[in-house]
Structure 1
C-alpha cells in the first residue's frame, strides 16, 4: 500500500504542477474542477499524507478557483469525509466484503466521497450523489467505475443499521458510529461518570460549534456590535459565559463578518479560550508573557483586557507563525504586543520574576476541538503520551518568570486528565509557593464550548 500511496501523490503533484504559461495543468487543461472533483483531489492528498486538511483546503480553494457555492460544498465534503473516515471505511468493507486496505487509494477515496453524500447530505439527491461519483471514477480510475456504481447503489438498498457493528461490542460500535479511535474512547470513559455520558460527549464532538466573536472593546462595545450585526441581517446573541463575546446563530462566516474581522472590530475565539483569559485577569499596566502565543488570540484578549496599557510579550517556537500575531495586533489597533521566537522549555535568566502573569496555553492533543480538526479523531494514546513531558517542562520552566504575587495560567484544548490536572498536580507537588486559585474543565456536551482545561495558580508574595 505504501507504493500505491506514493504513486497517488506523484500523480496529484503532476496534475497540479504549473505548465509553461504558469497555469495549473489539472485546473486549466481539459479537466473541470467543480466542488466534487476538487474534494476528491484534496482528500487523496490528505489520505496519502501530503497535507493536513486545513492547509489543503486553504490552498485548494485558490488553486481551483471555486465559486462561493462550490467552496461551501467542497469544504463540507473534505471535512465531512475526513471526520467520518472510520464509519465510511467500515461500511465500504461490509458492502465490498473485502478489507478497505486492499483498495487503491483513488477508489477508496471516491467511495468515501459518494457514501458521505448519500449518508449525511440530505439536500443532495441520491441519484446525483451516485452519478457524480461514478463520473469522477470514469475520469480518474475508469476500470473501477462499475464497482463504484455497484457499491453505492448497494448502500442505497441496504438497511443502514445492519451496516454498523453489533451494539453489544460497545467499543467497536461507538468507534464506527462516531468515527473516533477506540483508544480515545477509552480515555473518555476514564474521565466521565458513565457510558451514557461518554456517548453524549462523542455526539457533541460530531457537531461543529457555531462561531464565537470576541469583541475588540478598544473599538466598540458588545451592544454596538450586536446592533451592527442586526442591521446587516445577521442573527447573533450574547454569550452566557463572557460579557465580551457574541455567538453567531449561523455557522457561515458571511462577508459582513469578514469585514468586521479585517477592520479589527472582532476576532474569532471560542468562549472557553476567552474564559481562560478572564480567569487569569490581566490588568492595565501589567507585564504579561504569552509563551506559546500563536496564532495570537490569547495575546489579543490579554492586551484588550489591559486596555492596551502595559506590555504583552508573545513568544512562540515557530518564527514563521509570529507574523500572524504581529498582523493581528496591527489590525486590532493593539500597540503593547511584541513578538519573539523562543522555546518555552528553555530557561531565560533575563525573564526571571519579571511577569505579573504568565500564560501557558501549551501544545496538546486537541481532544476538545475534534469537531473543528477532524484528523485529531484518530490520534493514538502513544501520540498523546509524548506530550506529557513537553507540557510539564513548559509549566515548570515558565513558572520561574512569575514575580512574587503574580499568576501562572495553564490551559489546554483537551479533556484528557493526563495533560491537564495530572500535569498541574505534579507541578504543585514540587512547588509549594504556588496555590490554585481557579480550575475548570469545560466539556462540549455540558458547557457548549470547546473541551478546555483552565487552571490559574498564584505565586506567594516574597
Structure 2
C-alpha cells in the first residue's frame, strides 16, 4: 500500500473492502447499504475509509467507461469474466486512469495482491497493458451518439437512447454532464426547534462552508462528503437530510396547521417530516407505506425531530383506505419510480435500462387514482417522482387529468441537476374542484 503499512489485515485493507462491496453490488445489493455495512464492521483509519468510499463510488460511476476500455485490453469478453475478476480489473483500471495521486506501480501491485494465484498473472498483464497504451480510455465514434454518451457517461445504452428521445441531444448531454459533479449535501431545517438563519450561523461558525438553498425556503447546502453526524445540531434534531427538490415537493403541497394530510408512499419519511413542520406540528399527518419495517424508521425519525402529529399506516397505495375517502385536505403522492433523477447519488442506477421499468407508469397511475379518492373538494394533490422520464411524469399527469374532470392542474415542473442544482425531479400540484 502507498501508506507503507505492510501489516494491514485483510479486513483493514481499503482496496479489499472496496472489492468486496463492488462484488456485492454486482450481485444486486445497493452500493450505499453494502458500503455502510462494510465500513461499520471495519477498523480502518479515517483516511483508509475515505479511500475505500472513493474507490467504490468511483468505479460504479465510471463502470461503463472502464468496461469499454477493458474490452480492448483483453482477449476475453468482459461479460465472460467471473464477477470477482471483473470487479478487480475495474478497481485497478479506475486507480490507473482516474486517481493521479496513486502511482501506477502501487495501483497495479495492490490490485494484483487481491487476486487469486490463478488470476493474478492475467490481472497484472491487463493493467500493465493499459499503462503501455498511455492509460487511454477510448470512446465509440461520436456519430453514434447514443453509444458515445453511454460510454462517456457510463450509463446503459438503453438509458442513453431514451434520454435522447425524450430530452433531445443538448439537454441529454447537459443532464449527464451534471452528474459528473458530486452532489452537495442538503439539509432541511427542523423549524419546530430552530430557524434556518440560526442553524446556518452555527454551521458557518463551526467552519463549514454552508449556504442557503436557492429555491427552497427551509434548506441549507453543504459540500459533498460532509459528515452528517458531525454537524452542529445533529444530536439535537435541528435538521435532517433532504434534497432541495424533495423540499420543493413538500412546499408545493401547501400544508397548513390543523389540516389532515396523507403521505401515501412515505418512506423513508423526509417528506412527512417536512409536512409536519410546515403545519407547525398541529393537525394530522398520516404516513403510509407498503413495508412495515420501513415505517418503524419513520416513527423513530419523527420522535428524534420532536414531531407529535405523525402516525403510520401499513398499506398498499393502490388499495382503498376504507372510510377515509374525501377526508383529507392534502395528499402527497411521491410514487415509486425508475430513479433516473438520482443517478448522481445512486451510481448503480447508471446500468439500469428503462425497459426494466416499463410497468412502472401503470403502477404510478393506479396509486395516483386511488390517492385522489382521499381528497375533499378544495383539497390539493401533489404527484412527484425522482425521475426525468415523461412517461412517468407529464404523461401520467395528463392522462389522470383527462380521466378526472374533478381535478385541475395548478403547477407542473421538472427539475434537473444541470439547471437547478438538485436531483432530477418532477412535481405536479392539482386541486380537486368538485
Does TM, normalized by the shorter one, top 0.5? yes
What is the CA deviation profile of residues 314-373 of structure 1, one whole-angstrom value per residue up to 9, with x for unaligned ones? 000000001111111111111000011111000123110011000000000001000111
What is the CA deviation profile of residues 184-210 of structure 1, one whole-angstrom value per residue up to 9, with x for unaligned ones? 112211222x42321111111232210
CA pair 347-133 structure 1, distance change in 2 beyond 3 A: same
Query: In structure 2, how many angstroms separate the alpha carbons of the residues matched to 1:46 and 1:251?
Result: 21
Indicate whether 1:216 and 2:195 are aligned. no
Given candidates 71, 75, 90, the residue that maps to 2:53 is 75
Indicate whether 1:116 and 2:94 are aligned. yes
Residue aligning to 1:172: 147
Query: In structure 1, how many angstroms separate the alpha carbons of the residues matched to 2:79 and 2:229?
Result: 42
Given candidates 120, 124, 129, the residue that maps to 1:145 is 120
Give the TM-score of the pair, scaled to structure 1: 0.89
Q: CA deviation at 1:131?
A: 1.6
- Decide which moves more: 441-450 or 69-78: 69-78
Given candidates 222, 226, 233, the residue that maps to 2:200 is 226
Note if contact 1:403-1:459 (Cα within 8 Å) is conserved in structure 2: yes
Query: What SS does the corresponding residue of 1:454 show, helix, strand or coil?
Result: strand
Note if contact 2:331-2:382 (Cα within 8 Å) is conserved in structure 1: yes
Query: What SS does the corresponding residue of 1:351 show, helix, strand or coil?
Result: coil
Note if contact 1:235-1:250 (Cα within 8 Å) is conserved in structure 2: no
Residue aligning to 2:63: 85
Indicate whether 1:40 and 2:55 are aligned. no
Query: What SS does the corresponding residue of 2:338 show, helix, strand or coil?
Result: coil
Note if contact 1:272-1:442 (Cα within 8 Å) is conserved in structure 2: yes
Describe how 1:385-424 pairs up with structure 2 within 5 A.
385-424=358-397
Query: In structure 2, how many angstroms separate the alpha carbons of the residues matched to 1:313 and 1:53?
Result: 30
Query: In structure 1, how many angstroms separate the alpha carbons of the residues matched to 2:291 and 2:118?
Result: 46
Indicate whether 1:364 and 2:337 are aligned. yes
Indicate whether 1:292 and 2:258 are aligned. no
What is the CA deviation profile of residues 211-242 of structure 1, one whole-angstrom value per residue up to 9, with x for unaligned ones? 11111111111111111111211110111111
CA pair 40-288 structure 1, distance change in 2 beyond 3 A: same
Describe how 1:9-20 pairs up with structure 2 within 5 A.
none
CA pair 149-284 structure 1, distance change in 2 beyond 3 A: same
Residue aligning to 2:284: 311
Given candidates 206, 218, 238, the residue that maps to 1:265 is 238
Q: Larger % of helix: which?
A: 1
Note if contact 1:286-1:306 (Cα within 8 Å) is conserved in structure 2: yes
Give the TM-score of the pair, scaled to structure 2: 0.95
Query: In structure 2, how many angstroms separate the alpha carbons of the residues matched to 1:133 and 1:159?
Result: 19
Q: CA deviation at 1:147?
A: 2.0
- How many equivalent pairs are there? 427
Residue aligning to 1:5: none
Query: What SS does the corresponding residue of 1:343 show, helix, strand or coil?
Result: coil
Residue aligning to 2:38: 60
Query: In structure 1, how many angstroms separate the alpha carbons of the residues matched to 2:137 and 2:281?
Result: 59
Query: In structure 1, how many angstroms separate the alpha carbons of the residues matched to 2:339 and 2:62?
Result: 18
CA pair 45-426 structure 1, distance change in 2 beyond 3 A: same
Query: In structure 2, how many angstroms separate the alpha carbons of the residues matched to 1:147 and 1:236?
Result: 47
Note if contact 2:11-2:17 (Cα within 8 Å) is conserved in structure 1: no
CA pair 185-56 structure 1, distance change in 2 beyond 3 A: same
Describe how 1:281-360 pairs up with structure 2 within 5 A.
281-360=254-333
Q: CA deviation at 1:59?
A: 1.3
Q: CA deviation at 1:255?
A: 4.6
Note if contact 1:200-1:445 (Cα within 8 Å) is conserved in structure 2: yes
Query: In structure 2, how many angstroms separate the alpha carbons of the residues matched to 1:360 and 1:254?
Result: 28
Q: CA deviation at 1:254?
A: 5.3
- Decide which moves more: 85-94 or 450-459: 85-94
Residue aligning to 2:216: 242
Q: CA deviation at 1:419?
A: 0.2
Q: CA deviation at 1:134?
A: 1.5
Note if contact 2:199-2:233 (Cα within 8 Å) is conserved in structure 1: no
Residue aligning to 1:202: 176
Unmatched 5+ stretches in structure 1: 1-28
CA pair 69-30 structure 1, distance change in 2 beyond 3 A: closer
Aligned-CA RMSD value: 1.7
Q: CA deviation at 1:150?
A: 2.1
Indicate whether 1:431 and 2:431 are aligned. no
